[in-house]
Amino acid sequence: MTANRENKIRKKKKEKGPKKPEPGITEPAERPASEDFSGEYILEAKDLVYEYGAGTPFRKLAVDHVSFGVRPGRITGIIGHTGSGKSTLVQMLNGLLSPKSGQVLYKGQDIGSDKKKLRELRFQIGLVFQYPEYQLFEETVKKDIAYGPTNMGLSAEEIEKRVLDAANFVGLESGLLDKSPFDLSGGQKRRVAIAGVLAMSPRVLILDEPASGLDPIGRRSIFDGLIRYRDDTGAAVVIVSHSMEDMARYAEEIVVLSEDRLLVSGSRDEVFSHAELLIENGLDIPDAARLAAALRARGMALPENLYTPEALAAALLPFLKGGRV
């Protein structure tokens, strides 16, 4: 946890009464999850409909009556084929697009009800676009990351802290901060763009295909950074992806879209329990889950909920040791 955030949390705790934690002792309630919100969903999509080219012969329904909730402190994955409406949906979630009908509730309030408040709301509901590296434009990495916090009107000192914290979360070395973003590799540029949204400290962080086009090491490092951000801040993280394998590994809640509609949503276990429905819709299930199902069908007593190669390998180990395979 960063000094800045820690101070904030300590301050909050002090107000409530308990004494300051002893140095070196980790408190069980370290994660400030939902510190400022006690409802079940910090963000809720209610019956959202979006149509491109409304009123023209080219009108195209992109999101068709989609509802789901985002829990604070959780990683929610939105998955679906290309064209299933994921990007349109997440742009409605932070008010960039206005739904034709339906509502987006942030902490129970309709974000469309007061247009003047939308700008401020976008600091709290941060959206990282797909291929955000194409939107870098400042002379230095530091200035690029500082763009959001500067717009928020924060002090120079606070901006500096936020830039360093955000760079740290995404694994950018401090030596890169004074470079031009254009001199960086593709993966590093992606990190700068993500750090730019993290620096606003959003309570809901939404990322549209944050790992697309990166190699496995790059993907992993981005996801690990997002999980650290969630762990340290208690924010909700929403990740759009078309990779079932990534969702199986990282998402705790999953929303599945298929042709503009919601196919199924819920905890990862609930969603993967609908394997047939996913397969019928051409969505596949993780390789490990498929293999586990095939082994169960051959009589092997494997537990449910095996979605990653690591989990499957661990479950198979006792069988191998016992010579039963």
Ligand X SMILES: Nc1ncnc2c1ncn2[C@@H]1O[C@H](COP(=O)(O)OP(=O)(O)O)[C@@H](O)[C@H]1O
- How buried is 296 (Cβ within 10 angstroms: 0-12 exposed, 13-18 middle, 19+ buried)? middle
Binding site for ligand X (CB under 6 A): 52-53, 60, 62, 80, 82-88
87 binds Mg ion (CB under 5 A): yes
243 binds Mg ion (CB under 5 A): no
84 binds Mg ion (CB under 5 A): no
- The one segment of 84-92, 199-207, 301-309, 314-322 that binds Mg ion by CB under 5 A: 84-92
210 contact choice in Mg ion, ligand X, none (CB below 5 to 8 Å, kind-dependent) = none
| Cα(41)–Cα(70) distance, integer angstroms | 5
281 binds Mg ion (CB under 5 A): no
How remote is the C-alpha of 301 from its chain's centroid?
34
Q: Can you say whether the dihedral through the CA atoms of 111, 115, 116, 120 is positive or negative? A: positive
- The one segment of 31-39, 83-91, 99-107, 150-158 that binds Mg ion by CB under 5 A: 83-91
| Cα(289)–Cα(285) distance, integer angstroms | 7
34 binds Mg ion (CB under 5 A): no
93 contact choice in ligand X, Mg ion, none (CB below 5 to 8 Å, kind-dependent) = none
| Cα(181)–Cα(160) distance, integer angstroms | 18
**Closer to ligand X by Cβ: residue 133 or 144:** 133
**Closer to Mg ion by Cβ: residue 86 or 189:** 86
**Closer to Mg ion by Cβ: residue 255 or 288:** 255
Query: How many residues make up the chain in this entry?
Result: 325
Q: What pairing do the DSSP bridges indicate for beta strands 75-79 and 253-258?
A: parallel
Name every residue whose Cβ is closer than 8 Å to that of residue 259 and which is 6 or more positions away in sequence: 83, 84
60 contact choice in ligand X, Mg ion, none (CB below 5 to 8 Å, kind-dependent) = ligand X
276-285: long-range contacts, CB 8 A cutoff, minimum separation 24: 281/256, 282/81, 283/79, 283/80, 283/81, 283/244, 283/256, 283/258, 284/244, 285/244
* Smallest distance from ligand X to CB 225, Å: 23
- The one segment of 40-48, 85-93, 121-129, 245-253 that binds Mg ion by CB under 5 A: 85-93
* Smallest distance from ligand X to CB 44, Å: 19
Buried b (16+ CB within 10 A) or exposed e, 276-286: eebeebebebb
265 binds Mg ion (CB under 5 A): no
108 contact choice in Mg ion, ligand X, none (CB below 5 to 8 Å, kind-dependent) = none
Q: Name the residues that contact Mg ion, by CB under 5 A.
A: 86-87
